Structure 1
Amino acid sequence: MIMNWIISLMEALGAPGVGFAVFLENVFPPIPSEVVLPLAGFTTTQGDLNVWAALIWSVIGSVAGAYLLYGLGRAIGANRLREIADKMWLVDASDVDKSLLWFDKYGRYSVFFGRLVPGVRSLISIPAGVDKMNPLLFGVLTAVGSTIWNAILIWAGVALGAEWETVSRWFESYSSVIYAVIVLVLLFFLFKLVRRNATKKASSD
């Protein structure tokens, strides 16, 4: 159903339709770029779409979606996150401060490389907004990272032609590995938080 809708969108709008689909993919993950962009690449081989226009519009869509999430992060703000953290189990306001200090130091690398990681590509924009990262720098890093990711997927669709769906299967395997790593990292941090909480309780008794 999603593929049919994407095809209809590209047929109706051309290259801007690719950008719109990628914009939605950034804010609505069930629309995967691993499907949208290889399909766009294949469509360019049929003469209905210019490959450079598809790439440019896809980057525009990526950056627009990233700025929307960046704005959400700025709207939430660090103070509100601290208030939320204080009410949550295992975490407190100091964890927010530590995260922001880490982002101040490594944020630019996170935004750039995050655009190449499924499951992180969109979400990395939110902490950038919370940290109030320079909007221009955020846009440049997002655009460069998105150009690399989008170009790989589009030209893979061009190279494989009618077999473009093979790209989706390749990236499904890649995504599965990334998601497994993310789960392991989250479990590690959960373990550290539980242990810290237990230590606090023991010291207060």
Structure 2
Amino acid sequence: MVLEILGEFGSWGVFLLIAVENLFPPIPSEVILTFAGFLTSCTSMTVPEVIVAATGGSVAGAIVLYGLGKLLSPVRLNALLSGPVARRLKLEQEDVQKAADWFSDHGWPSVFYCRCIPILRSLISIPAGMAGMRFLPFLFLTTTGSLLWNILLVGLGALAGENWPMITGALAQVSDGVKWFLAAAAIGAVVWRKTRKRRIDCDRPSGVQ
């Protein structure tokens, strides 16, 4: 059904499916994005068009989960995740807890680099909302993180052409290594920026603003 929607509705189908994938993480974004990238080689869709549509869908779904986090207390969230609705949607309480732990350990930057980690890329929005993270930083980090992920997968699908299923299979095999590499790179960038800013502040003469 996923492939049929993409073939029928083009970039609007990409937007819809990625928005739904963010709300219901078991839907694989790897399949959606790599196939959409392949379609740019045989339809009127372009790579930039698909990337924009996918990023818009990612942000739309993330905003819904952020709002859900704003509305729910931890007790109510746990009750929801242990109920029949969560079971039908295949939402695992352990996955949500893992996202909450990432946000607790790494703070706001986790909203950016978790966008490149399957499952967590969607669920990280919930603890961000529950922690009262300001909306504009959340929106910026979600958009930039989603853009990186979408450029990677749509670009790979476009390059692979009809061999796009091989990309999806390869990602499934190396997903753990890829996600930890991306997370480590993002954390390193945050640490470097903070260290650099601290050094600049220390080197600045007193009284100079």
Regarding TM over 0.5, the answer is: yes
Q: How does 1:141-160 map to 2 (within 5 A)?
A: 141-160=141-160
Count, aligned residues: 162
1:47 lines up with 2:48 in the alignment: no
The match for 1:164 is 164
Q: Please give the secondary structure, in 2, of the residue aligned with 1:164.
A: helix
- Going from structure 1 to structure 2, the CA distance change for 1:104 and 1:31 (only over 3 Å counts) comes to closer
CA distance in 1, matches of 2:23, 2:79: 25
Among all aligned residue pairs of Structure 1 and Structure 2, give the percentage whose two residues are the same amino acid: 39
The match for 1:33 is 29
Q: CA deviation at 1:158?
A: 0.6
Q: Please give the secondary structure, in 2, of the residue aligned with 1:30.
A: coil
1:7 lines up with 2:3 in the alignment: yes
Please give the root-mean-square deviation of Cα atoms over the aligned residues, in Å: 2.9
- Going from structure 1 to structure 2, the CA distance change for 1:137 and 1:104 (only over 3 Å counts) comes to farther
The match for 1:69 is 65
5+ residue gaps, structure 2, are: 81-96, 180-209
Q: CA deviation at 1:137?
A: 0.9
Q: CA deviation at 1:132?
A: 1.2
Does the CA contact (< 8 Å) of 1:15 and 1:50 recur in 2? no
CA distance in 2, matches of 1:105, 1:133: 14
CA distance in 2, matches of 1:48, 1:14: 9
Q: CA deviation at 1:80?
A: 5.5
5+ residue gaps, structure 1, are: 85-95, 180-205
Q: Spell out, residue by residue over 1:133-166, the C-alpha distance to the aligned partner (whole angstroms, 9 max, x if none).
A: 1111101100100000011000100111000011
- Going from structure 1 to structure 2, the CA distance change for 1:43 and 1:121 (only over 3 Å counts) comes to same
CA distance in 2, matches of 1:170, 1:52: 24
Q: How does 1:1-205 map to 2 (within 5 A)?
A: 5-77=1-73, 103=103, 106-175=106-175
Compute the TM-score of the two structures, normalised by the length of structure 1.
Answer: 0.70
The match for 1:198 is none
Amino acid at match of 1:121: R
Does the CA contact (< 8 Å) of 2:103 and 2:111 recur in 1? no
Q: CA deviation at 1:173?
A: 1.3
Q: CA deviation at 1:114?
A: 0.5
Amino acid at match of 1:167: I
Q: Please give the secondary structure, in 2, of the residue aligned with 1:121.
A: helix
Q: CA deviation at 1:51?
A: 1.4
Q: CA deviation at 1:106?
A: 3.2
Q: Please give the secondary structure, in 1, of the residue aligned with 2:133.
A: coil
Does the CA contact (< 8 Å) of 1:78 and 1:131 recur in 2? no
